[in-house]
Amino acid sequence: MRKLVAFALAITLFVSLGGSFSWRAFGEVEAQAEEAEEATQGAPALKLNAKGAILMDPQTGRVLWEQNAHFKGYPASMTKLMTMVVAMDAVSSGQVSLDDPVQVSERAESFGGAEVFLAEGEVFPLEKLLIAIAVASANDASVAVAEHIAGTEEAFVELMNRKAKELGLKNTNFTNCHGLHDPNHYTTPYDMALVARYALRYPKILEWTSIKRYTFRQEPLTILDTTNKMLYWYPGTDGFKTGYTEAAGLNLVSTVERDGLRLIAVVMGVETPRGHFTESMKLYNWAFRQWKWHKIYNPGETVAEIGVDKGRQEKIPVVASGKVGAVVPRTGKEEERITTRLEIPGLIKAPVKEGQKLGEIVVLEDGREINRTDLLAGQDVPRAGLKQEIQRVIRAVFIF
């Protein structure tokens, strides 16, 4: 069975990456698949070949498993996840637009390593450069984005460190926007998981980091292949970023969703080839055997109805803005400890706009709050006309 799975993985890589098939590559993938599977035997014990690692529930920020999670190491290109976060903060605030034309500077052109070979004076939409960062880990694109948003890379790095403090990152310091080695540029698995948790607020970041192959230019033809092979090897993977320098070792901050359960994992300081992928696979294999998603409401599902004062309709559906539930162990009846509390008004005045926030639903475990989700108006409700108001008054009098 393992050989069939590994063979399928190898064929998938062959078709998706456009590479030539080799039995040596097949053997390497087979060995990795066997290692990842065997490592989960005997759970709940788990030991990864990494200097530091963590597994986090992004809904609550709860740490589900850790191994030296506060190990201070070099993030390398995992740095670019924070670069994308700061860029999306700027988009969200209206400071910049994803359609903005970004002109490449001489300094941005000078950055080698992982790059998309930008030339001074070239102009690209901001989003295209962010995709180059997400897919190909482009250093030159990172600098071009930083300069466009903040004027200089140094000013952009100040924004990165300000965001780090805002998110509660206590063992992180950035000196650049790309992750090339600097002894004063460091983070921890725990801090990186917090960055990843925040990044999930922006669907665009997940969209970009889930791209496997992307045509960046037509002339000269430039096709980018993802550095995150977990997108091919591990079903449910849809983000985020790899990182490697000789000083850092192999790093990976990733996220996987299966059967409604989304998890974040970070591994840092892995020394074996492809080990940041195989060690992450071990961790996820273990995790999905230990935990499950207890669904209460799906995104967009009606949670309640509330009255509308002076509206054309007297009631309006209230829907969940995102999924509502909790991560619970697969064993036992932990879901019985999960309850909810609605925080919504009994009546709201018209007019009401679809998507307008009307309240929140709070998820509790043994009466303790673990998460909350916005509740939104499920449809528009215009203000009632005078004729409709008079008819309601007459009806109320006769019913009385």
How do residues 281-308 score in pLDDT, each as one tens digit? 999 999 999 999 999 999 999 999 999 9
- Looking at the DSSP bridge assignments, the partners of residue 103 are 123
CB 127 within 8 A of CB 99: yes
When pLDDT is averaged across residues 158-174 and rounded to a whole number, the result is 98
Residues shown for the chain:
400
Torsion of CA 14, 19, 21, 22, to 10 degrees: -130
Which region among 36-40, 115-119, 363-367 has the lowest average model confidence (pLDDT)? 36-40
- pLDDT of res. 26: 35
- pLDDT of res. 31: 44
Does residue 313 carry a pLDDT above 80?
A: yes
Does residue 268 carry a pLDDT above 60?
A: yes
Q: Taken in order 46, 50, 52, 55, is the CA torsion positive or negative?
A: negative
Q: Does 16 qualify as catalytic in the annotation?
A: no
Which region among 40-44, 76-80, 235-239, 254-258 has the lowest average model confidence (pLDDT)? 40-44
Q: What CATH fold (topology level) applies to the domain 48-291?
A: Beta-lactamase (3.40.710)
Between 383 and 199, whose confidence is greater? 199
315 phi-psi bin (left φ>0, alpha ψ -120 to 50, beta other): beta
- pLDDT of res. 333: 83
Cβ burial of 20 (10 Å; 0-12, 13-18, 19+) is: exposed
Q: Can you give the residue ranges of every domain in the chain?
A: 1-39, 48-291, 298-399
Q: In Å, how far from its chain's centre is CA 75?
A: 17
- pLDDT of res. 118: 94
Between 78 and 397, whose confidence is greater? 78
CB 79 within 8 A of CB 178: yes
Structure tokens at 211: 């791209």
Q: Does 280 qualify as catalytic in the annotation?
A: no
Query: Which of these, 212, 209, 267, 237, lies nearest to 80 by C-alpha position?
Result: 209
The pair phi, psi for residue 352, each rounded to 5°, is -125, 135
Q: How far apart are CA 325 and CA 373, in angstroms?
A: 10
Structure tokens at 43: 């759970």
Q: Among the options 77, 105, 142, 254, which is catalytic?
A: 77
**E strands along the chain, which residues?**
52-57, 62-67, 101-103, 123-125, 213-218, 221-225, 237-245, 249-258, 261-270, 291-297, 302-309, 315-320, 324-329, 338-343, 347-349, 357-365, 368-377
- pLDDT of res. 45: 80
- pLDDT of res. 239: 95
Structure tokens at 319: 């829907």
When pLDDT is averaged across residues 58-64 and rounded to a whole number, the result is 96
Work out the mean pLDDT of the chain and round it to a whole number. 89
Tally of CB atoms within 10 A around 278: 25
Q: Taken in order 70, 71, 74, 77, is the CA torsion positive or negative?
A: negative
Please name the CATH architecture into which domain 298-399 falls. Answer: Sandwich (2.60)
- pLDDT of res. 166: 98
Q: Among the options 137, 142, 254, 280, which is catalytic?
A: 137
Q: Among the options 80, 163, 282, 292, which is catalytic?
A: 80
Common-topology check for domains 48-291 and 298-399: no
Does residue 9 carry a pLDDT above 50?
A: no
Does residue 5 carry a pLDDT above 80?
A: no
Residues 6 or more apart from 341 whose CB is under 8 A from it?
361, 362, 364
Q: Is 400 helix (H, G, I), strand (E, B) or coil?
A: coil
pTM above 0.75, yes or no: yes
When pLDDT is averaged across residues 118-123 and rounded to a whole number, the result is 96
Q: How far apart are CA 146 and CA 187, in angstroms?
A: 20
When pLDDT is averaged across residues 257-279 and rounded to a whole number, the result is 97
Confidence of residue 36 (pLDDT cuts 50, 70, 90): very low
- pLDDT of res. 59: 93
Residues 6 or more apart from 108 whose CB is under 8 A from it?
118, 120, 140, 141, 143, 144, 147
- pLDDT of res. 37: 43
Q: How far apart are CA 69 and CA 55, in angstroms?
A: 9
Q: Does 387 qualify as catalytic in the annotation?
A: no
Consecutive H or E run containing 89: helix 79-92
